[in-house]
Amino acid sequence: MMNLTLDTCINTNTLLEIDQACFSIMNLYYTPVIFYAIAWDAYSGTGIPVSTLLPNSNTSLIISTKYPLHIFYEVMENGKFFEYCHTTYTFKEHGSYGWNISAKSICSDIYLLREPTESNLPIFAAFMILLLLAILWTTSKVIVRVVKVKLSSNIVHDDLERLQDTETVTHPIIQTTEFSTRIHSVDTFRGIAILLMIFVNNGGGDYVFFKHSAWFGLTVADLVLPWFAWIMGMTITISKRTELRVTISRMKLILHCLRRSAILILLGLMINSMDSKSLNNLRFPGVLQLLAVSYFVCATLETIFMKLYSEFGRFAMFRDILHSWPQWLIMVGIVLTHTLITFLMPVPNCPRGYLGPGGRYEYRGKYINCTAGAAGYIDRSIFGDHIYSKAEPTIYGSILHYDPEGLMNTISAIFIVYLGVHAGKILLLYYQCNSKVVRWLLWAVFTGLVAGILCNFEMIGGVIPVSKRMMTLSYVLTCCSFAFLLHTILYVLIDFKQVWSGAPFIYAGTNPILLYVGHVLTKKLFPWSWHIAHPTHASLLAMNLWTTSLWAIIGYLLYRKNIIITI
């Protein structure tokens, strides 16, 4: 935060950048006052001293509007400091606000000096433009289809007249492509995940809700990786059953899983090397590494235990669970081990079961070196300097390095992938649409309820709060609940009712790894990205949507050429 003159706050916003506002504080005390402010998500009885307000003066400050702020002031009385006027307020971008404080701790309500801008208007405009394009595209396809039907009817009429003098009719040849045999709802789900990942990784218009949560809670960006891992689990079930039915030996399949995982890990290390100046600080964990390990564990389990033909008699309605009880026992063991380590493992100078970010989050920095609890301690002990180390400003101040795709989070990802595996079991073992839909919805409700119980149905609270940074169990179950629900909707619309082809997401979903690696490599290159001298939400959103659309077009071109690049 910085000091401004009062006239600047009232008359112009030229000095204000994205997610900033003016705050003018009138101090009517006869002594200096210390003003404190901290993001509400980070407040736990202490704040950050922002400015010393001179006696009988008006001080204007630039403040952040990313999160609701908890503000108060401190004044010395009779040789002791006292805090007054604690309040939490949601400031809005480029607005100008005022606050009056006076002796005897009398504080006015925060009042508006200048109206804020509508920072979310670009999102609405972009949505309307995309909706209009979708309507035009759909309308054009309908018109083309009607024209083709009329033309084909005329051709068929002419052909029938010619065939009256012939004795045989040649049967038409039905052509199939690699795409025609795929499950379209699965590719569409995967396309949604990968395009959303590209959008948020490129900045998401610099909107807070398109970025990962500060530590606790859930944003749109927090859903991307779990959804991709979940749908990867579904494809494991589909592919392994197909491979086993063509009599490929299980040992060869395990070796194939190992080879694929090794390639993903290598690609992940290559991507990490872009941010490392030497091997001494090369980051070992990463997104692709997390996917590789979780894929190998779940794919290997399915290869070993999958039953191709099973009959359960009167218990046939539970065959999706009975079919894979060994895998479920192992998953329960993995989740239980992760939970016990998280809550029982001793961490030096930290309480057992600590799940917070450390820093100045709580108890006036008492747990400043406890970032990520046992998970962070394990990563720092095993990987040393080879973990995520980008210096990012946080609302909790300086925190210890930890890795969001570290060892403990990878264990959590295994469970995410396996819930996707189970969704695939439902897809293959039940033949009626209603049977599949009901079971997917039951799993969505079950995982959602368990997650809600664990976090007490709060963004920050409960026995196990929701945290993407640590991939807590409540976070895993919440994301998987949404995944079950989303896939159910896609399956009904695309594969059952066939009222939507899945476009444009289905195209990106056929080459997700290529698009992911490609977008990372070209993230700062033209025409995917360019420098904006005075960025705004609108300009950044336009660029990020263009980047995402460009990769969607590349996915479409690969689709049209029947090109699928797999590992």
Separation between Cα atoms, residue 195 and residue 478, nearest integer Å: 21
Q: What is the CA radius of gyration of the chain?
A: 28
Asked whether residue 509 is domain-assigned, the answer is: yes
Helices (H) and strands (E) in the chain, counts: 15, 10
Q: Can you tell me the distance from the alpha carbon of 191 to that of 230, in angstroms, rounded to the nearest whole number?
A: 13
Residue type, 563: I
Neighbours of 136 (CB within 10 A): 10
Confidence class for position 168, pLDDT limits 50, 70, 90:
very low
Could you say which DSSP state residue 47 is in? -
Q: Which residues contact 549 (CB under 8 A, 6 or more apart)?
A: none
Task: Note the pLDDT of residue 107.
Answer: 84
- Report how many domains make up the chain: 2
Please name every residue paired with 20 in a beta bridge, in sequence order, or none if there are none: 64
Same domain, 338 and 222: yes
**Residue 381 vs residues 287, 374, 377, 497: alpha-carbon distances, Å:** 20, 10, 6, 52
Of 114, 135, 164, the residue at which a domain comes to its end is 114
Task: Give the whole-angstrom CA distance, residue 441 versus residue 437.
Answer: 6
The least confident of 6-15, 30-39, 311-320 is 6-15
Range of lowest pLDDT (6-20, 217-231, 425-439): 6-20
pLDDT(4) > 90? no
Q: Is residue 130 part of a domain?
A: no
229-284: pLDDT as tens digits: 999 999 999 999 888 888 778 999 999 999 999 999 999 999 999 887 788 889 99
DSSP label at residue 494: I
Closest CA relative to residue 416, chosen from 510, 298, 533: 298
Q: Is the pLDDT of residue 163 over 50?
A: no
Q: Which residue has the higher pLDDT, 328 or 173?
A: 328
Q: Verify that 108 and 209 share a domain, yes or no.
A: no
Predicted pLDDT at 33: 92
Q: Check whether residue 327 and residue 446 sit in a common domain.
A: yes
Considering the domain architecture, whether residues 226 and 92 belong to the same structural domain is answered as no
Q: Is residue 205 part of a domain?
A: yes
Residue 280: predicted pLDDT: 87
Asked, for residue 263, whether it belongs to a domain, the answer is yes
Question: pLDDT band for position 481 (50/70/90)?
Answer: very high
Q: Are strands 96-102 and 20-27 parallel, antiparallel or unpaired?
A: parallel
| Type of residue numbered 135 | I
Assigned domain for 165 exists: no
Q: Which domain holds residue 49?
A: 20-114
For the residues 187-209, what does the mean pLDDT come to?
95
535 falls within a domain: yes
Q: Is 92 helix (H, G, I), strand (E, B) or coil?
A: coil
Residue 171: is its pLDDT beyond 90?
Answer: no
Judge if 102 and 192 occupy the same domain. no
Half-sphere exposure of 440 (CA within 13 A, CB side): 28
Residue that terminates a domain, selected from 66, 99, 114: 114
Q: Predicted confidence band at 81 (pLDDT cuts at 50, 70, 90)?
A: confident
Using pLDDT thresholds of 50, 70 and 90, give the confidence band for residue 177.
low
Same domain? For 212 and 82 the reply is no
Residue where one domain finishes, among candidates 65, 83, 114: 114
Q: Is the dihedral of CA 492, 495, 500, 502 positive or negative?
A: positive
Taking the model in full, what pTM does it have? 0.91
**Do 110 and 195 reside in the same domain of the chain?**
no
Instruction: Give the highest mean pLDDT range of 174-178, 181-185, 544-548.
Output: 544-548
Q: Give me the CATH number covering residue 44.
A: 2.60.40
pLDDT given for residue 554 in this prediction: 96
Is 298 domain-assigned?
yes
Residues 269 and 369 in one domain: yes
Residue 166's pLDDT is what?
46
Query: What is the tens place of the pLDDT at every residue in 361-390?
Result: 776 668 888 999 999 999 999 999 899 887
Tokens of 18: 């994205």
Which residues, 6+ apart, have CB-to-CB distance to 49 below 8 Å?
Answer: 34, 35, 36, 74
d(CA 168, CA 55): 103
Residue range 163-179: mean pLDDT, rounded = 46
Verify that 82 and 224 share a domain, yes or no.
Answer: no
Label residue 170 by pLDDT band (50, 70, 90).
Answer: very low
CB of 331 closer than 8 Å to CB of 421 = no
Residues 197, 106 within the same domain: no
Among all residues, which ones are annotated catalytic?
212
Asked if the structure places residue 440 within a domain, the reply is yes
> Cα(first)–Cα(last) distance of the chain, in Å?
48
What was the pLDDT predicted at 181? 61
